[in-house]
Amino acid sequence: MEPKFKHDCTRCKFLGHGTYLGTPVDWYVCQGRIRTVIARYGNDGKEYSSAGIGECVKPTMVEMAALAQGLDLQEDEKDRLLKQLLLRYKDSLCRHDYDNLFDEDNKRIGTSDWLSTKEV
């Protein structure tokens, strides 16, 4: 399978064809400090949408479209995305509901600290 649109970044890996917001795209992942998903919809340099995977508290439309079309995540990306989703949920709770999430004795069932504000 070959890309439909020209993309000249040497760090990007072509994943295949799909759609984004009803438009045919070529999907890419760019390797960097944070992997970036790219939906290229034209040959012009600016004709693409992109997002760092798991970087925003609310997943972007391009992330959601890529995930819906089968983007494989690495383990650290799954952790980062889950943490962002949980932090967003946490922020939507009233104080009473938030307090009810935690056991008074700080009992733990695992080592994860998903609702912490510490950086991952």
Which residues fall within 8 angstroms of residue 63, CB to CB, at 6 or more apart?
Answer: 37, 51, 53, 54, 56, 81
The pTM score is 0.71
Nearest-angstrom CA–CA distance, 23 and 42: 10
| Long-range contacts, 92-99 (Cβ 8 Å, 24+) | none
Count CB atoms within 10 A of the CB of residue 118: 6
pLDDT tens, position by position, 8-54: 999 999 999 999 999 999 999 998 788 899 999 999 999 999 999 87
User: What pLDDT was estimated at residue 19?
Assistant: 95
